[in-house]
Amino acid sequence: MHKDFDVIKADAYPLGVSFCAEGMRIAAVCGKIPPEGTEEFGVILYDRKHREGIRIPFPEKSSVGAVHAMLLRGYHDRACSYLFYCGGRVWQDPYCRRLADPYRYGLKRKDLPRCMAQDAAYDWEGDETLCYPYEDTILYALHVRGFTKHRTSGVQHKGTFLGLTEKIPYLKELGITSLLLMPAYEFDEIMDTEIPAPTMEQAASRIQSAAAAGEEGGRSYRVNYWGYQKGLYYAPKSGYAAGKDAAAEFRDMVKKLHKNGIEVLMQFYFPPEVTRAEMLDVIRYWVLEYHIDGFHVMGVDLAIDVFTKEPLLCGTKILTSQHYEPDHGDYMAKTRRLGWLSEGFLYDMRKALKGDDSMVGQILFHARNGRPETGIVNYIAKWDDMRLADIVSFDRKHNEANGEDNHDGTDYNCSWNCGVEGKSRRKSIQELRLRQMKNALSLVFLSQGTPLLYSGDEFGNTQEGNNNPYCQDNAVAWIKWNRTESGSELLRYTKLLIELRKAHPILHSVTPLRGMDYLSCGYPDISYHGKDAWRPDTGQASRSVGIMYCGQYGGSDDTFLYIGINLHWNAYYFGLPQLPKGMKWTLYAASDSPDASAAGIKEGVGEQGEAIPGITVPPRTIAVYIAKREAAAAHERPLTAGGREKRRAKQ
């Protein structure tokens, strides 16, 4: 019996610590079932009266199996914190909702951070998840800390949820619809292994990087910057919070993003010891408590079949790299909420960019690849890989700074340095790299499926060839916002592609494209072309192909789109298909030019000697043409990168 409260038996579920009208309810797993578990098991409670902690054992016969539960009747101090103990062992509650003591990210904690129960109810102000379908989604992946931590980010609260919120105007201007956050649940970023003693060159490089980023250097231990590890899955990461209440700050961020029409998805890594029931509990909790729109679940033995059969998640995106064929009993098969991350797209398109043999067929496959029962997410660079700028600047990985003799990370990057390894001042190299990055983004945004862009790739952010910066909490892995000026042309081009995709439903069709004229309009939904219209060259040596989309298959849009893809090192002539009367081709954009000034329409000669329209696309260039009725085209300016920027400036 305690002076201020009574300890009585309580219901075993739900697990964790919470407050109710009667007091504080505690339920925990001991791990040992009597008679084997004979050591005292209970909670260490810290509050204003017990600053050093008071041990409260679970009452006798309070367990159901390995679950013990009790109610501290009459106890209502919501500012208290706690830990669990069993004999001499002390641990955190895996179901805790928040940590008690805010701490600076990357610093070793002398004591085990204490847990806290959920705070008072949060006012969501009518907020709801957005539930965009995959065909209308444009994903933007980022690391919460790395997104705004660099000194050039231009935000007040760098490296935090609040700092991410400050970047909402940029995200809206870019045109993305959905954020994918790398692990933002509570995990201990301090790794047990120490950093090997650096060479003089490595030490100088680290000091320079830290100084450039405005951070202190000299850590003697590794930091798990990515966070792909088991953690306290029910709590937002306190090290990513600007204030003391990470849970409230995270909710504020989600609510403001939703108000601006941006979804929030999260990555969760589940190691094998996490059960399927636990995974499902975690996912359901974040949907209910934090209004999360979707999840990228990572691990070995994932509960994909459990997720897809859960009614609560039928409106929630679940992304996975694990192969799974949904059946008729899956809610996500009915609502198309399961999304498959296409690693094949990444490697195929990188090979095509380099100019490898036999890749035209793969380009055509991905251009129309869609599945009615699942979403397909396409990307050419992602979180655990080289950046977009690095796949055109390095032939090999450069992970020396990780302290593992460059043995970590994949050796299979399918990258090409455009003739020089790393930085180059040669104008021709710089121009080729810029063109290749534009080509890469064109392939991502002009293919069916859901495009995924990793943060900073839209303006050429670099990791200096490091394809595995899991331990680099510094300028290597952070987004360097001062590159938006030097990368302004690439940024404009990215916005242009996003605008084009949104404006033409045929580029993101809800149903798979067939390559057939099933509307009897005289044109198929998608068709392929070469030097002669309707005759693509898909041979081993071919590196060029034309793709035409008929906008009528996307709904009310009656325009035509023609994408001339020439990844050869020589120019290539494409014969353009004949258009309906009153329509003509207009250049929208070309990857070899800031404006639509290249690859003009020319007259060619057909097999019967007749004049046919055609285009010559320069080497390693992708050109996009739009055909619309002349009456409409007469009062509309061509959609060019430079033209749009000038028009925005006038407005």
H/E element holding 183?
none
Which residues have CB under 8 Å from 201's CB, separation 6+?
none
Residue 266, pLDDT > 70, answer yes
Indicate the DSSP class of residue 535.
B
Which residues have CB under 8 Å from 557's CB, separation 6+?
504, 505, 506, 551
Which residues have CB under 8 Å from 33's CB, separation 6+?
63, 65, 66
Distance of CA 331 to the CA centre of its chain: 24
Is-contact 210 151, C-beta < 8 A? no
Instruction: In whole angstroms, give the CA distance from residue 341 to residue 320.
Output: 6
How many angstroms separate the Cα of 545 from the Cα of each of 175, 504, 617? 28, 21, 11
As given in the structure block, the two tokens for residue 5 are 């409260």
105-109, 325-329, 610-614, range with the lowest pLDDT: 610-614
Residue 116, pLDDT > 60, answer yes
Residue 467, pLDDT > 90, answer yes
| Percent of the chain clearing pLDDT 90 (strictly above) | 75
As given in the structure block, the two tokens for residue 68 are 């013990």
The pLDDT of 176-187, averaged and rounded, is 98
Quickly state the pLDDT bin for 612 (edges 50, 70, 90).
low
Instruction: In whole angstroms, give the CA distance from residue 157 to residue 537.
Output: 53
Instruction: In whole angstroms, give the CA distance from residue 92 to residue 114.
Output: 7
Instruction: Give the pLDDT confidence score for residue 261 in this predicted structure.
Output: 98
Instruction: In whole angstroms, give the CA distance from residue 505 to residue 133.
Output: 13
User: Tokens 């869609």 identify what position?
Assistant: 370
31-45, 143-157, 310-324, 450-464, range with the lowest pLDDT: 31-45
Instruction: In whole angstroms, give the CA distance from residue 283 to residue 291.
Output: 11
- The domains of the chain are located at 6-116, 134-271+282-300+314-319+339-505, 512-650
Indicate the DSSP class of residue 506.
G
Quickly state the pLDDT bin for 30 (edges 50, 70, 90).
confident
Instruction: Give the pLDDT confidence score for residue 582 in this predicted structure.
Output: 85
Instruction: Give the pLDDT confidence score for residue 214 in this predicted structure.
Output: 46
Residue in 48, 72, 47, 78 with CA at minimum distance from that of residue 58? 72
Q: Which pLDDT tens digit goes with each residue over 310-332?
A: 999 999 999 999 888 888 778 88
Instruction: Give the pLDDT confidence score for residue 611 in this predicted structure.
Output: 57
Question: Mean pLDDT: which of 110-124, 209-223, 247-261, 609-623 is highest?
Answer: 247-261
Residue 207, pLDDT > 80, answer no
Residue 649, pLDDT > 90, answer no
Q: Looking at this protein, which amino acid is placed at residue 385? A: D
Instruction: Give the pLDDT confidence score for residue 599 in this predicted structure.
Output: 55
Convert 436-467 to b/e letters by CB count within 10 Å (16 or more is b).
Answer: bbbbbbbbbbbbbbbbbbbbbbbbbbbbbbbb
As given in the structure block, the two tokens for residue 572 are 């290539």
Which residues have CB under 8 Å from 288's CB, separation 6+?
312
278-292, 325-339, 446-460, 473-487, range with the lowest pLDDT: 325-339
Instruction: In whole angstroms, give the CA distance from residue 589 to residue 439.
Output: 11
Is-contact 498 174, C-beta < 8 A? yes
Quickly state the pLDDT bin for 247 (edges 50, 70, 90).
very high
Instruction: In whole angstroms, give the CA distance from residue 148 to residue 151.
Output: 8
Name the pairing type of β-strands 375-378 and 338-341.
parallel
Q: What is the DSSP string of 337-370?
A: -EEEE-HHHHHHHHHHHHT-TT-HHHHHHHHH--
The pLDDT of 9-32, averaged and rounded, is 90
CATH architecture of residue range(s) 512-650: Sandwich (2.60)
Name the pairing type of β-strands 621-629 and 611-617.
unpaired
Q: Looking at this protein, which amino acid is placed at residue 426? A: R
Tell me the whole-structure pTM to 2 decimals.
Answer: 0.91
**What is the residue-averaged pLDDT of the chain?**
89
End-to-end Cα spacing for the chain? 73
Instruction: Give the pLDDT confidence score for residue 38 in this predicted structure.
Output: 65
Residue 219, pLDDT > 70, answer no
Residue 196, pLDDT > 80, answer no
Instruction: In whole angstroms, give the CA distance from residue 448 to residue 513.
Output: 9
Helical spans, DSSP H, in 57-199: 144-148, 161-166, 168-174
Q: Which CATH superfamily is domain 6-116 in?
A: Immunoglobulins (2.60.40.10)
CA atoms within 13 A on the CB side of 199: 8
User: Tokens 């050093």 identify what position?
Assistant: 52
Alpha-carbon dihedral of residues 296, 459, 259, 648, nearest 10 degrees?
-150
Instruction: Give the pLDDT confidence score for residue 335 in this predicted structure.
Output: 86
611 or 294, greater pLDDT: 294
Q: Kindly report the CATH number that applies to the domain delimited by 134-271+282-300+314-319+339-505.
A: 3.20.20.80
Q: Looking at this protein, which amino acid is placed at residue 524? A: P
Instruction: Give the pLDDT confidence score for residue 37 in this predicted structure.
Output: 53
Instruction: In whole angstroms, give the CA distance from residue 494 to residue 443.
Output: 12
Residue 363, pLDDT > 80, answer yes
Indicate the DSSP class of residue 281.
H
Is-contact 619 570, C-beta < 8 A? yes
Instruction: Give the pLDDT confidence score for residue 1 in this predicted structure.
Output: 56
Residue 531, pLDDT > 90, answer yes
Instruction: Give the pLDDT confidence score for residue 610 in this predicted structure.
Output: 53
Instruction: Describe the chain by its helix, strand, coil percentages, rounded to 5.
Output: 25, 25, 50
Instruction: Give the pLDDT confidence score for residue 61 in this predicted structure.
Output: 83
The pLDDT of 95-106, averaged and rounded, is 87
Which residues have CB under 8 Å from 185's CB, separation 6+?
227, 231, 232, 233, 234, 235, 236, 237, 266, 268
What three-state secondary structure class fits 410? coil
Indicate the DSSP class of residue 532.
B
As given in the structure block, the two tokens for residue 592 are 């070899």
Instruction: In whole angstroms, give the CA distance from residue 50 to residue 445.
Output: 59
The pLDDT of 162-166, averaged and rounded, is 98
One fold for 134-271+282-300+314-319+339-505 and 512-650: no
Is-contact 590 580, C-beta < 8 A? no
Q: Looking at this protein, which amino acid is placed at residue 603? A: E
134-138, 194-198, 522-526, 542-546, range with the lowest pLDDT: 194-198
How many angstroms separate the Cα of 9 from the Cα of each of 31, 35, 59, 114, 348? 19, 19, 7, 24, 60
User: For residue 398, how many other CB atoms are within 10 A of its CB?
Assistant: 18
Residue 635, pLDDT > 80, answer no
